[in-house]
Structure formats: structure tokens, C-alpha cells
Chain A
Amino acid sequence: MNQRNILAAAFLTIVAVFLMFSALFMHPFGEPTSQAMDQYIIDNTVGETGANNGVTSVVFDYRGFDTLGEATVLFTAVASVVMLFRRLKK
């Protein structure tokens, strides 16, 4: 147990305590307090997007741009992995 590990353990404990505390201060599990955005989507998803699945309508319609970002992340990862295992000599 050297100095570094003691330091790490101490600060990890601090962070842990704060995270646990923040869990206590959250709204009760299963009872979200505010609902403006989500309730709107639940009420309107069939009428506005024609999809039954609310999640899909969020993924591809209401927040479609995030999905483009997600697809881009995957594209980036594939390009990166292929690039890293490329042949180095011509």
C-alpha cells in the first residue's frame, strides 16, 4: 500500500459517498417528478410520426439527429479499426 494507493482510495471514497448521497436526493425510484417532454411524446407519437413504438419515433424522428450522430460514431469506429490494422507498407 503505497502513497498513491492511499490517495486513490481516499478520493474514491469521497466520490463514492457523494454519489450515494446524490442517489438519496434523487426523485423516488419509479416516480419521476417532471414529465413535460416525455408525456408530450407519449401522447403524440402515433399521431405525429405514424409509429407505434415510441422509442423508435424518438430515435428516428424527434431526436433523429442524435441517431445520425450515433451512426457516425459507429462509422468512425469502423474506419478507425480498419485504419489501425491497415498494411503499413504500400
Chain B
Amino acid sequence: MIANIPYLTVAGLIIIGLYTLLFKKNLIKMVIGITILQSGVNLFLITLGYRMGSVAPIFTGNADNPVMSYPVPQALTLTSIVIGVAVLALMLSLVIHIYRHHGSLHVSKLGGDDQ
């Protein structure tokens, strides 16, 4: 109806996240990119469950059989958000450790042994 703009937003957020991961050289910036990517996926899940003119799937007892948005994607998104914050915390603590070892956050400090 409105040209699937929310889906395009999702695609946009995912592309911005991937762009950050590919082109930015700072570790914390990369973490931010992953957060953006995560937000895109979360938004996608929520948009899948939305129905035009619906209300949230919560029965308040004052309306008879309203159209309700889907509850399952919302539950999935909750799980996804928790997973997001868990991953974020772990990544940032690893970043702090990398900084303690190298004194820098540049991604090239993560050199392999093969060079």
C-alpha cells in the first residue's frame, strides 16, 4: 500500500551495517555496524507481523474481536534484542582487551600469522 517502504528501510539498514563492517577501520565502529544490522533484522521481523489497522495482541476487554498484529514475530524480536545486547557486551569486552594489548583500535592490528 505504501510501496513497501518499511521493507526498503530494512534493506537499507542491513546495507549500512554491511558497509560499516566492510569499509570502516575502527573496531568500535564495526561493533556499531553490527548493531545497525541487528536493528534492521529486528525491524524486519516486526514489520512482518504488522497488519493494517491492527492493535497489539493484548486483550483489554473493551473491544470486541479487534484486528490484532501477529504475536509470534514480536516474541522472536524480543529474543533477538536480548541476544543483541549479549553479543554487544561480549564484543565490547573483547575490544577493550585488544586495546589493552595493542594500544590501538585499528582493524589492521588484527593481523594474521600468515603474512
Chain A positions near chain B (C-beta within 8 angstroms):
5, 8, 12, 15-16, 19-20, 22-24, 26, 28-32, 35, 37-38, 41-42, 45-46, 52-55, 57-59, 62-63, 66-67, 69-70, 73-74, 76-77, 80-81, 84-85
Contact = CB atoms under 8 A, between A and B. Distances in A.
B19 interface: yes
B59 interface: yes
Interface in B53-106: 56-61, 68, 70-72, 74-76, 78-79, 82-83, 85-87, 89-90, 93-94, 97
B75 A58 contact: yes
A74 B2 CA distance: 38
A74 B90 CA distance: 10
B1 interface: yes
B10 interface: yes
Contacts of B47: 29
Interface residues of B, number: 46
B79 A66 contact: yes
B1 A55 contact: no
B89 A77 contact: yes
Contact of B72 (A15, A19, A41, A77): A41
A53 B68 CA distance: 11
B22 interface: yes
Interface string B27-63: 0000000000000000000011111100011111100
Interface of B: 1-2, 4-8, 10-11, 14-15, 18-19, 22-23, 47-52, 56-61, 68, 70-72, 74-76, 78-79, 82-83, 85-87, 89-90, 93-94, 97
A58 B71 contact: yes
A80 B90 contact: yes
A81 B82 contact: no
Contact of A81 (B8, B79, B90): B90
B51 A23 contact: no
